[in-house]
């Protein structure tokens, strides 16, 4: 998720009505960079049959002895 600074400025102006100052843009870019790298790692380890709605099924499948 390495997003060009111009895109961050454009999007912030569109949503928040302001482009953000340089310090806050840098902080945002740093967080997005971390999440972007994590996303690449996640894509590497995802199995073919993992699907986005699978979590609830995993919870339901757990032993229930209450």
Partner 1 sequence: MTDELTLLSAAEIARRVRAKELSAVEAAEAFLGRAEKVGPELNTWITLDREGALKGARAVDEAVTQGKNPGPLAGVPVGLKDLIDVAGLRTTAGSQIYRDNMAKEDAPITRMIRKAGAVILGKLNLHEFAFGPTGHNPHYGDQKNPWDTERVTGGSSGGSGNAVATAQASITIGSDTGGSIRIPASLCGTIGHKPTFGLVTKAACFPLSWSLDSFGPLAASAEDAALMMSAIAGPDPSDPSSLQMPAPDFAGAIGTPLTGLRVGHARNYYTDQSDPEVVKGVEEAARALSDAGAQVTEVEIPDLNLAYDACSTFMLAETAAVHEKHLRECADDMDPWVVERTRAGFFIPATAYIQAQRFRAQWTARVLKEVFGKVDLVLTAATPIPAPLRTADKVTVQGKEYGARLHLIALTRHINFLGFPSTGFPTGFNSEGLPLGAQLIGAPFQDHRTLAAVDQLEKSGAINVKISPFEG
Give the residues lining the site for partner 1 (CB under 8 A): 1, 3, 8, 11-12, 15-17, 20, 24, 28, 31-32, 34-36, 38-39, 41-43, 45-47, 50-60, 62-64, 66
At which residue do the structure tokens 């967080």 appear?
A: 31
Residue 22 or 57: the one with the smaller Cβ distance to partner 1 is: 57
Q: Please report how close the Cβ of residue 22 comes to partner 1 at its closest, in angstroms.
A: 15
Shortest distance, position 52 Cβ to partner 1, whole Å? 4
Q: How far apart are CA 27 and CA 42, in angstroms?
A: 23
Q: How far is CA 10 from CA 3, 18, 25, 45, 53, in A?
A: 11, 9, 11, 33, 33
């Amino acid at each position: 998720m390495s997003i060009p600074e111009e895109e961050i400025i454009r999007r912030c102006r569109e949503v928040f009505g302001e482009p953000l100052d340089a310090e806050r843009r840098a902080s945002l870019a740093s967080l997005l960079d971390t999440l972007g790298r994590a996303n690449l790692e996640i894509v590497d380890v995802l199995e073919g049959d993992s699907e986005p709605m699978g979590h609830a099924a995993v919870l339901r499948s757990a032993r229930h002895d209450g």
